Structure 1
Amino acid sequence: MNWGAPVDIYCERLSAAFWAEPINAFSNVAFIIAAFVAWRTARRLGVRGVDLTALIVLAGLVGIGSFLFHTFANRWSELADVVPIWTFVAVLVLVAIHRIGGVRPGKLAMGAIGVLAIMIIVMLASGEGDAATSPTPPILNGSLQYAPAVIAMLVFSLIGWWRASPMAPWIWAATGTFVISLAFRTVDLALCDVWATGTHFIWHALNGLMIGLLLDGMIRLRARPPG
């Protein structure tokens, strides 16, 4: 594979220049803000945990990786974009299984293997960069790769509601935000003729909000007094 091969799959990019996607690139600050606010909130409320720290760090890495992809726009930067995203999703699913589903840490080993396998399969099957050389755009503009994430969030929303988890409102809000953001990602290429900058930057902004909601919910859940 040619790791330096250009990837051009968004409305805003009209050349191979580094700053050809300024709005898509700078909108990734949403992830950095989400990570920073979560860190500040956790510190203020005295909430700690390896899993929470990992999610906060990964949230920041999602923003950095996506910034690299929307500036360098090639195969290696695409990988820098995709890996943090799916690592965040995998860790989030495991944390949710434990914190919301009530599964003990010792029983998470099999779940971790399953989540990792699904993550690898989705990453390999997504082929987002193939759109750069394909005569036709991928189905749903490549958004189909996020179907497992949508399903997982809906499942955890229902579990949270069924178990009357205090975090349920945050999960429902995050799920709704993610579905809306996915819609904006999906229509990006379809609106190029009428919206030159495209709608991908809205995907970034809303996903930053979605991650912020999930992290805030986890922090405040742990900050609640027992009972």
Structure 2
Amino acid sequence: MFAEQIDAYCERTDFTFWSEPVNALTNAAFLIAALVIWPRTKDVPMARALAVVLFVIGLGSFAFHTTATRWGAMADTLPILGFVLLYLFGASRDFLGLGLWRSVLACLAFFPFAFVCTLLFSHLGLGSSAAYSSVPLLIFIYAALLRTRAPFTARGLAIGATILCLSIAMRWLDEPICDAFPLGTHFLWHILNATMLGWMIHVYVRHMRQTRLEDGASAR
């Protein structure tokens, strides 16, 4: 079952290892983004954990776009889910100040929220890309909630959500334009996603350092 192969993207023409060379190699963008952001996370443990997960996303996606198997698909999607939940916990706790348990509840609430969003956007024609629709919507919600108390962070989140919307559009476009453009557009999903996830870590780090500065100033 897990070894069953899947032909899911325009670039793939058979089930050989390098049938998706561009899709496979552009996963290097995740590795590069993780390595670039890593030194900036040294004093922010949550951001450091996110950078590790970002690196794993690149490895998992490479596994999927080379093996084209169901186990490869799991290696691709599970680290992405892990990143979303980890960031959601950190944003709830540190951006909104919800505390430990309410932040855990926010993570649990993500699943029914994502389910509803997936159903809605599937009906709007997003296909399999509808599964990701909940994430930019949630980021925009957090940006709106933070627009007064932390406007710089809110702006950063809104930028990240906008990049992700463009990224999802590239993922969706891969199949419709396949006949005219056999390479497809999925590789742009990788590049834009890597940029967006690295940016989101940067936003988190910046927020945490600014909070420390403000706390230090008020303590004087």
The TM-score with structure 1 as length reference comes to: 0.84
Does the 8 Å CA contact 2:41/2:48 hold for their aligned counterparts? Answer: no
1:52-78 Cα offsets, whole Å, 9 max, x none, are: 222111111111111100000011111
1:143 aligned to 108, 115, 129, which one?
A: 129
SS of structure 2 residue aligned to 1:161: coil
Stretch moving more, 63-72 or 159-168: 159-168
Residues 1-227 of structure 1: pairs in structure 2 closer than 5 A: 2-43=1-42, 47-49=43-45, 51-115=46-110, 117-118=111-112, 139-224=125-210, 225-226=213-214, 227=217
Alignment length, in residue pairs? 208
C-alpha distance in 2, partners of 1:196/1:176?
A: 27
Q: Does the C-alpha gap of structure 1 residues 63 and 119 become closer, same or farther in structure 2, counting only changes over 3 Å? A: farther
Does the 8 Å CA contact 2:5/2:70 hold for their aligned counterparts? Answer: yes
Q: Does the C-alpha gap of structure 1 residues 14 and 119 become closer, same or farther in structure 2, counting only changes over 3 Å? A: farther
Does the 8 Å CA contact 1:10/1:188 hold for their aligned counterparts? Answer: yes
Match of 1:129 in 2: none
Cα RMSD for the two superposed structures: 2.2
Q: CA deviation at 1:215?
A: 0.7
The TM-score with structure 2 as length reference comes to: 0.87
C-alpha distance in 2, partners of 1:164/1:3?
A: 45
Identify unmatched segments of 5+ residues in structure 1: 127-138
Q: Letter of the aligned partner of 1:110 in structure 2? A: L
Q: Letter of the aligned partner of 1:30 in structure 2? A: A
SS of structure 2 residue aligned to 1:190: coil
> Equivalent pairs: percent with the same residue?
31
C-alpha distance in 2, partners of 1:113/1:176?
A: 24
Q: Letter of the aligned partner of 2:204 in structure 1? A: M
C-alpha distance in 2, partners of 1:165/1:120?
A: 26
Q: Letter of the aligned partner of 2:87 in structure 1? A: L
1:170-217 Cα offsets, whole Å, 9 max, x none, are: 211111100011111111001111111100000000000101111111
Identify unmatched segments of 5+ residues in structure 2: 120-124
Q: Does the C-alpha gap of structure 1 residues 118 and 68 become closer, same or farther in structure 2, counting only changes over 3 Å? A: farther
